[in-house]
Amino acid sequence: MADDTTTVPPGVLKAREALKDVPHEPGAKKQDPILVADSVVRRFGGLTAVNVGHVEIQRGAITALIGPNGAGKTTFFNLLTGFDRPDEGKWEFNGKSLAGVAAHKVARQGMVRTFQLTKALSRLSVIDNMRLGGTGQKGEKFWASLIPGIWSGQEKEITERADELLARFKLDAKREDFAGSLSGGQRKLLEMARALMVQPDMVMLDEPMAGVNPALTQSLLGHVKSLREDGMTVLFVEHDMDMVRDISDWVIVMGQGQVIAEGTPDTVMADPRVIDAYLGAHHDGTQHDPEAVAEEVAEEEGTTADD
Ligand SMILES: Nc1ncnc2c1ncn2[C@@H]1O[C@H](COP(=O)(O)OP(=O)(O)OP(=O)(O)O)[C@@H](O)[C@H]1O
């Protein structure tokens, strides 16, 4: 473990310092939150997919949002970034209300998310995907803007930034290739590079490790860590617990639409409420006595709590 402070990068030390006194409990207040959300509810018919009472994201840190399938992570991401609208709730980013603000305007405010390469984007070259990111993330519809003539004086600046980022993410050799021809890992790199086109304060990554070949894993992790070193805040949804442990300063756990636990990776992953949510031992939404749950989990695993 890299606990030798001489080798720990400044961004990591800063994030650790900011989070060291934060209580490990759902909705915990942060020293300097970049994002604060309150009472955010999203229902689909009779199903309440998201019901987040209060959550704060520490500026300059890497925060993982984890939880079992269907916990509401992606829906919460979609709400925060303007890709979906809540039934209730408000949130502030950099002190400004963003509830109900459209996705491209959210990106212009400095909060940007990666979104997976769709069919339409796959048929564009790597460099055009990058340029598209620079126009402020209007999603797929906006690819119409690639029609020649639309690019104005901004084009040169956007292209220069795109080329810089492609070089940084080692995708420059793929500049003219169709994005659809990239490997899973290269696509993830492109998604991240494209998100950086708007020079965001906060980057939201949706399952950055999904479909990534182990050969590219370290490179991808390195890029995520470098965002923190560049002063950005990262919030990511991920099922890969090795990645969560490796790069997160803080972990927020969702279960059945709610934030059920928060803390450093080690404490959160040992939290019986989290184990309970992942094992699906209880789905009635009631509070459980952590010791009783731990005992039950141990029994299910064929061990005893005393082992
Ligand atoms: N557009 C939709 N219409 C109806 N139900 C939806 C819709 N989007 C999500 N849901 C439901 O909302 C709940 C939360 O889904 P969501 O995708 O946000 O979970 P998740 O935590 O991201 O899961 P996963 O880890 O599997 O991606 C699920 O029960 C899902 O079926």
pLDDT for residue 218: 87
pLDDT for residue 239: 87
Residues 265 and 278 reside in one and the same domain: no
The Cα 205–Cα 239 span in angstroms is 12
Residue 223 belongs to some domain of the structure = no
Residue 221 belongs to some domain of the structure = no
Task: Read off the pLDDT band of 6 (50, 70, 90).
Answer: low
Residues 122 and 104 reside in one and the same domain: no
Better-predicted residue by pLDDT, 117 or 21: 21
Of the given ranges (55-59, 137-141, 163-167, 223-227), which has the lowest mean pLDDT?
137-141
- Say how many domains are in the chain: 3
Task: Tell how far the Cα of 83 is from the centroid of ligand 1, in angstroms.
Answer: 14
- From 41, 44, 85, 237, the mutation candidate for ligand 1 (largest count of ligand atoms within 8 A of CB) is 44
Q: pTM of whole model > 0.90?
A: no
Task: Read off the pLDDT band of 174 (50, 70, 90).
Answer: very high
Average pLDDT (264-278) is: 88
Residues 11 and 40 reside in one and the same domain: yes
Q: Mind listing the pLDDT tens digit for each residue in 12-70?
A: 999 999 999 999 999 999 999 999 999 999 999 999 999 999 999 999 999 999 999 99
Residue 216 belongs to some domain of the structure = no
Ligand 1 cavity residues, CB under 6 Å? 44, 47, 49, 67, 69-75
Question: Which residues span the domain enclosing 279?
Answer: 271-307
Residues 294 and 173 reside in one and the same domain: no
Question: What three-state secondary structure class fits 263?
Answer: strand
CB 52 within 8 A of CB 80: no
Task: Tell how far the Cα of 48 is from the centroid of ligand 1, in angstroms.
Answer: 10
CA-closest residue to ligand 1 atom 9:
75
Q: Mind listing the pLDDT tens digit for each residue in 139-161?
A: 444 554 555 555 555 677 888 99
Percentage of the chain beyond pLDDT 70 is: 80
Residue 27 belongs to some domain of the structure = yes
CB 98 within 8 A of CB 80: yes
Residues 104 and 236 reside in one and the same domain: yes
| HEC per residue, 66-129 | ECCCCCCHHHHHHHHCCCCCCCEEEEEECCEECCCCCHHHHHHCCEEECCCCCHHHHCCEHHHH
CB 197 within 8 A of CB 161: yes
**Would you call 61 exposed, middle or buried from its count of C-beta atoms within 10 A (0-12, 13-18, 19+)?**
buried
**In the predicted structure, residue 286 carries a pLDDT above the cut 90:** no
Residues 242 and 260 reside in one and the same domain: yes
CB 204 within 8 A of CB 77: yes
